[in-house]
């Protein structure tokens, strides 16, 4: 069969050109969205009297048969038919005859493909918010189980001050909460219908774009036909949000890799989320965490690639924009894999509370509290800082920790020290002294968990509301 657009041409397309310009190898991912958009479009053509209802019914029935063939894996896609739109239209014409060619009345592949991607990303964004909710749930579970577990807090990867492990987990709950908010906010810019913009200028047929939007559940319709077919902001925004999520996942995974090492021994990952070595039988490798960390780079690359494709494009549609899909699909797949694995990996992670406590007892992360103790005695902070610096140096030189010092040793450095210093230096008291909003004190962390659970419930309800709509 000749090209569906071949009337103007006198020669066949060179085979290399067909292979180079075809997108069916990857845009077949949009098959269901393409048919979904076509069903709404042809319903509108019937409503507006542009097509007879008998033709509409035949086309709709044919489209549903084509969809079932695709779902069963029975439809063989062809490079010679270029893309998913032409492959489906050809399959439809083969099924219902020439009347299938009426489906394309009042539209172009330009507004058709844009609609497909809006439909595709709209669904994915809701799914990703749901996955972030599950990851937050796993982190909240670890936080609630470790409200009394004290661990060294770090800056510059040097032990800084003791904190609750629950407080550390809640930092990631906050990060992923912002990620979910960004996705939710982006939804309104994805939830826009381009169909009806035609190739770039609209159409001469009396179409009803708002009817199509209603059929497809879109909240808004693009105001400008040029913008409708050339806009890929919503994809760039998704890739940016995905990059942010992967960055947060990578930070968490980096810590998991360190914490599960022999040097830290803070956590142990479940066997089902680790792998072994082909030569060293003792190894238990955190491959999942490492791969999430590694795959972050490809998501960043997809964002930069998309921005580069768009940076000099004149209005409206250009073939360059075919490059918008592979990176988007790859990012979706990469993010899905990471989020699906991280939630159960976190929830099954064993926390070595004793090892964390041992680490806290064998460092100088309570030094700031001694300075604060002297400040409360009236010594200026800068002088107190110097006193404690000398005290720590003395401990290092004598292979002691601060709690090992006698009161006599303390008073060598300041006469303001008294017996209360030993109470101040206890890790529990160091932690609970940070009793400020957002601090690591146990009551503050418990309150933070409560607030986070309320936000978690709201986000979960947002996801569930779309599940209800799709029924």
Q: Give yes or no: residues 372 and 306 share one domain.
A: no
Is the domain of 184 the same as that of 210? yes
Model pLDDT, residue 23: 76
CA angle in degrees (0–180, nearest 5) for 176-265-453 = 25
Q: Residue 316: is the preceding peptide bond cis (ω within 30°)?
A: yes
Lowest mean pLDDT among 18-22, 144-148, 287-291: 18-22
Question: What pLDDT score does 9 carry?
Answer: 61
At residue 188, the pLDDT reads: 96
Copy the structure tokens of residue 437: 């909003």
Which residue of the set 2, 156, 272, 312 is catalytic?
A: 156
Q: Stretch 369-385: mean pLDDT, rounded?
A: 93
Q: Is 347 known to be catalytic? A: no
Give the model's pLDDT for residue 395. 94
Residue 183 exposed, middle or buried by CB count within 10 Å (0-12, 13-18, 19+): buried
Report the predicted TM-score, pTM, of the whole model to 2 decimal places: 0.92
One domain, residues 136 and 236: yes
Q: Which of 355, 384, 400 delimits the end of a domain?
A: 355
What pLDDT is attached to residue 454? Answer: 97
Domain match, 228 and 94 both: no
Give the Å distances, CA to CA, from 4 to 7, 87, 319, 388.
8, 10, 18, 81
Looking at the structure, do residues 61 and 167 belong to the same domain, yes or no? no
Residue 245, in any domain of the structure: yes
Look at residue 436 and tell me if it is in a domain: no
Residue 171 shares a structural domain with residue 309: yes
> How confident is the model over 429-446, as a mean pLDDT?
97
Determine if residue 76 is left, alpha or beta; phi over 0 gives left, psi from -120 to 50 gives alpha, anything else beta. beta
CATH assignment at residue 410: 1.10.40.30
pLDDT in tens, 297-351: 999 999 999 999 999 999 998 889 988 999 999 999 999 999 999 999 999 999 9
Q: What confidence tens digit (pLDDT) does each residue in 216-227 have?
A: 999 999 999 999
Instruction: Tell me, yes or no, whether 463 lies in a domain.
Output: no
Q: Write the DSSP assignment of 409-437 as a string of letters.
A: HHHTT-TT--TTHHHHTSHHHHHHT--ST
The whole-number pLDDT of residue 277 equals 80
Do 342 and 294 have their domain in common? yes
Q: Do 327 and 416 belong to one domain?
A: no
CB atoms within 10 A of CB 44: 26
Q: Do 139 and 166 sit in the same domain of this protein?
A: yes
Sequence-ordered list of residues with C-beta below 8 angstroms from that of 417, at least 6 positions apart, any chain: 373, 374, 407, 410, 411
Give the DSSP H/E element, type plus range, for residue 159.
strand 158-164
Consecutive H or E run containing 155: strand 150-155
DSSP summary character for residue 9: -
Strands 267-268 and 350-351: antiparallel
pLDDT digits (tens, 9 = 90+) for 156-202: 999 999 999 999 999 999 999 999 999 999 999 999 999 999 999 99
Asked if the structure places residue 447 within a domain, the reply is no
Query: What whole-number distance in Å separates Cα of residue 264 and Cα of residue 258?
Result: 7
pLDDT of residue 280: 85
Confidence band for 14, pLDDT divided at 50, 70 and 90: low
Mean pLDDT computed over every residue of the chain: 94
- Shared domain for 28 and 84, answered yes or no, is yes
- The whole-number pLDDT of residue 2 equals 55
Task: Name, in order, each residue with C-beta under 8 angstroms of 401's C-beta and a sequence gap of 6 or more.
Answer: 361, 362, 363, 364, 395
Residue 457 resides in a domain: no
Structure tokens at 30: 């949009």
Which secondary-structure segment (H or E) carries 346?
helix 325-347
| Banded pLDDT at 243 (limits 50, 70, 90) | very high
- Position 437 in a domain: no
What values do phi and psi take at 275, rounded to 5?
A: -135, 170
What is the per-residue pLDDT for 6?
61
From CA 212, how far away is CA 218, in angstroms rounded?
8
- Enclosing domain of residue 121: 110-148+161-355
Among residues 310, 330, 355, which one ends one of the domains? 355
Largest Cα–Cα separation, the chain: 101
Are the C-beta atoms of 273 and 338 separated by less than 8 Å? Answer: no
pLDDT given for residue 89 in this prediction: 95
Cα–chain center distance at 408 = 56
Distance separating alpha carbons of residues 423 and 357, to the nearest angstrom: 17
- Give the domain-ending residue among 386, 406, 424: 424
Which domain CATH number covers 165? 1.20.200.10
Tokens 């190739």 belong to 199
Q: Provide the pairing of β-strand 220-221 with 192-193.
A: parallel
Find out whether 82 and 24 touch, Cβ atoms under 8 Å.
yes
Q: Which pLDDT score is estimated for 22?
A: 67
Bridge partners for 163 per DSSP? 151
**1 pLDDT more than 50:** no
Q: Would you say residue 243 lies in a domain?
A: yes
SS3 283: coil
Dihedral, 20, 23, 24, 28 alpha carbons, nearest 10: 160
* Residue 470 clears pLDDT 80, i.e. is over it: no
Query: Which of 80, 210, 277, 347 does the annotation list as catalytic?
Result: 277
Task: Compute the average pLDDT of residues 201-229.
Answer: 97
- The reported pLDDT for the residue numbered 25 is 81
In this structure, the answer to whether residues 334 and 234 fall within a common structural domain is: yes
Active site residue 277: yes
The dihedral region occupied by 69, where left means phi > 0, alpha psi between -120 and 50, and beta the remainder, is alpha
Identify whether 393 is part of a domain: yes
Give the pLDDT confidence of 41-95 residue by residue, as tens digits: 999 999 999 999 999 999 999 999 999 999 999 999 988 888 899 999 999 999 9
- Look at residue 332 and give its three-state secondary structure: helix
Enumerate the β-bridge partners of residue 162: 152
Tell the burial category of 361 from Cβ atoms under 10 Å away from its Cβ (0-12, 13-18, 19+): middle
How wide is the angle at C-alpha 173 spanned by C-alphas 170 and 177, nearest 5°? 145
**Mind listing the pLDDT tens digit for each residue in 258-273?**
999 999 999 999 999 9
The continuous run of DSSP H or E covering 151 comes out as strand 150-155
What pLDDT digit, counting tens, does each position of 292-310 carry? 999 999 999 999 999 999 9
Residue 240 shares a structural domain with residue 203 = yes
Domain containing 96 — which CATH number?
1.10.275.10
Measuring CA to CA, which residue among 215, 139, 214 is closest to residue 456?
Answer: 139
Orientation angle between helical segments 84-96 and 53-71, nearest 10 degrees? 120
Domain count for the chain, please give it.
3
CA angle 83, 86, 91 (to 5 degrees): 120
The model's pLDDT over 100-151, given as tens digits with 9 standing for 90+, comes to: 999 999 999 999 999 999 999 999 999 999 999 999 999 999 999 999 999 9
């Amino acid at each position: 069969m000749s090209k569906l657009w071949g009337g103007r041409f006198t020669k066949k397309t060179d085979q290399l050109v067909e292979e180079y310009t075809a997108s069916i190898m990857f845009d077949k991912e949009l098959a269901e969205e393409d048919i979904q958009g076509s069903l709404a479009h042809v319903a509108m053509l019937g409503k507006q009297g542009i097509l007879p209802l008998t033709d509409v019914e035949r086309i709709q029935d044919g489209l549903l048969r084509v969809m079932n063939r695709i779902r069963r894996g029975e439809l063989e896609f062809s490079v010679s038919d270029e893309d998913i739109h032409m492959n489906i239209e050809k399959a439809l014409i083969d099924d219902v005859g020439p009347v299938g060619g009426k489906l394309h009345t009042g539209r172009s592949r330009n507004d058709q493909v844009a609609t497909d991607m809006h439909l595709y990303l709209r669904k994915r964004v809701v799914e990703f918010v749901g996955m972030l909710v599950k990851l937050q749930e796993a982190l909240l579970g670890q936080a609630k189980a470790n409200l009394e577990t004290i661990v060294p807090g770090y800056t510059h990867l040097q032990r800084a001050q003791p904190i609750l492990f629950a407080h550390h987990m809640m930092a990631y709950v906050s990060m992923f909460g912002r990620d979910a908010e960004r996705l939710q906010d982006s939804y309104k810019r994805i939830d826009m219908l381009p169909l009806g913009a035609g190739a770039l200028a609209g159409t001469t047929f009396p179409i009803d774009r708002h009817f199509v939007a209603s059929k497809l559940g879109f909240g808004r319709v693009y105001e400008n036909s040029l913008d409708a077919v050339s806009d890929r902001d919503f994809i760039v925004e998704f890739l940016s949000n995905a990059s942010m999520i992967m960055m947060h996942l990578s930070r968490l995974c980096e810590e998991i890799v360190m914490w599960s090492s022999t040097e830290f021994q803070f956590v142990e990952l479940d066997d089902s989320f680790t792998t072994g070595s082909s030569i060293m039988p003792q190894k238990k490798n955190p491959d999942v965490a490492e791969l999430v960390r590694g795959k972050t780079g490809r998501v960043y690359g997809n964002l930069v690639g998309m921005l580069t494709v768009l940076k000099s494009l004149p209005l409206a549609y250009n073939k360059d924009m075919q490059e918008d899909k592979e990176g988007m699909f790859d990012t979706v797949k990469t993010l899905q894999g990471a989020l699906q694995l991280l939630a159960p990996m976190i929830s099954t992670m064993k926390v070595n509370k004793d090892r964390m406590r041992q680490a806290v007892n064998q460092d100088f992360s309570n030094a700031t509290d001694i300075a604060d103790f002297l400040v409360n005695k009236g010594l200026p902070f800068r002088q107190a800082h110097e006193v404690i610096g000398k005290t720590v140096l003395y401990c290092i030189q004598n292979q002691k920790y601060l709690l090992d010092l006698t009161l006599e040793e303390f008073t060598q450095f300041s006469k303001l020290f008294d017996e209360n210093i030993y109470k101040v230096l206890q890790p529990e008291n160091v932690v609970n002294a940070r009793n400020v909003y957002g601090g690591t004190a146990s009551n503050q962390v418990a309150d933070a968990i409560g607030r986070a659970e309320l936000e978690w419930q709201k986000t979960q309800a947002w996801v569930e509301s779309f599940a209800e709509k799709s029924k």
